[in-house]
């Protein structure tokens, strides 16, 4: 039996919902429903648009080692966490070959990558003789929260302006969302792509990898708890939001007394 999956294709102000029916080695597409973005009427209606070819979607694979690191970054960080990664073509499909943790500040609702660390990572890729154009993955977690693309996520993706950008969002329940964004010649987003881990030919020592990932998180991630100041207004604007650094090993944020 062939599997069916619904995808969302956003093109400018319009959203197209279509169903991809795929077998192990082939894919057939049927176009379904078109309505303005944000419309409440998203009923699926079969359409046969004249002269419009159904979209051809790449499958999104991820190397086994990269997937393990991604899952552990998300599992072992008490707050949200994010990073970059490399993506290479694999025939008509795409393959995430590497995920990297970048120095950052992280809270329970967002992350902020260090711009110097991002530049340093790109420089390292160049020094190693690798193709910098493969650096087109942005990944992040929602910690214990649900999988969706928040307004902050949408703004981050738009600000990156990386052609054929792959974005992954995950959580501690092992749920993942994946999308592909194109910016030229016109903006196009394909959401709901399945993330397919490859089999591991040479499994790593799990306990050793966990210790390595935890050490890297402690080194590169500064945890921040945001709180509204209770200091009297005479000394500090009472609406000021304070950022309180939290030791990485401390799971419960400090409480103001």
Which among 6, 7, 10, 15 is positioned nearest to 157, based on CA atoms?
A: 10
pLDDT recorded at residue 257: 35
The CATH superfamily assigned to 60-197 is: Cytidine Deaminase, domain 2 (3.40.140.10)
pLDDT recorded at residue 202: 75
> Between the CA of residue 42 and those of 10, 19, 117, what are the distances in Å?
13, 13, 42
- Kindly give the parts of the chain with pLDDT less than 50: 1-4, 15-54, 233-236, 238, 252-257
pLDDT recorded at residue 8: 60
- Quote the pTM value: 0.76
């Amino acid at each position: 039996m062939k599997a069916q999956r619904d995808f969302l294709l956003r093109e400018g102000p319009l959203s197209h919902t279509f169903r991809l029916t795929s077998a192990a080695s082939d894919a057939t597409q049927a176009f379904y429903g078109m309505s303005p973005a944000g419309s409440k009427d998203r009923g699926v209606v079969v359409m046969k648009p004249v002269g419009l070819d159904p979209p051809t979607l790449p499958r999104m694979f991820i190397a086994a080692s990269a997937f393990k690191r991604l899952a552990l970054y998300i599992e072992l960080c008490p707050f949200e966490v994010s990073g970059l990664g490399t993506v290479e073509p694999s025939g008509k499909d795409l393959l995430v070959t590497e995920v990297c943790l970048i120095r950052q500040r992280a809270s329970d609702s967002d992350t902020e990558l260090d711009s110097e660390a991002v530049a340093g990572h790109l420089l390292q890729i160049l020094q190693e003789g690798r193709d910098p154009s493969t650096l087109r993955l942005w990944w992040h977690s929602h910690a214990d929260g649900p999988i969706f693309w928040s307004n902050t996520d949408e703004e981050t993706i738009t600000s990156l302006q990386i052609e054929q950008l792959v974005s992954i969002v995950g959580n501690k329940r092992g749920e993942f969302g994946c999308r592909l964004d194109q910016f030229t010649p016109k903006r196009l987003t394909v959401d709901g792509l399945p993330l397919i881990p490859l089999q591991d030919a040479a499994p790593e020592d799990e306990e050793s990898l966990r210790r390595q990932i935890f050490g890297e998180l402690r080194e590169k991630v500064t945890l921040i708890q945001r709180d509204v100041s209770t200091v009297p207004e005479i000394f500090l604007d009472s609406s000021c939001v304070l950022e309180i650094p939290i030791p990485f090993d401390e799971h419960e944020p400090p409480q103001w007394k």
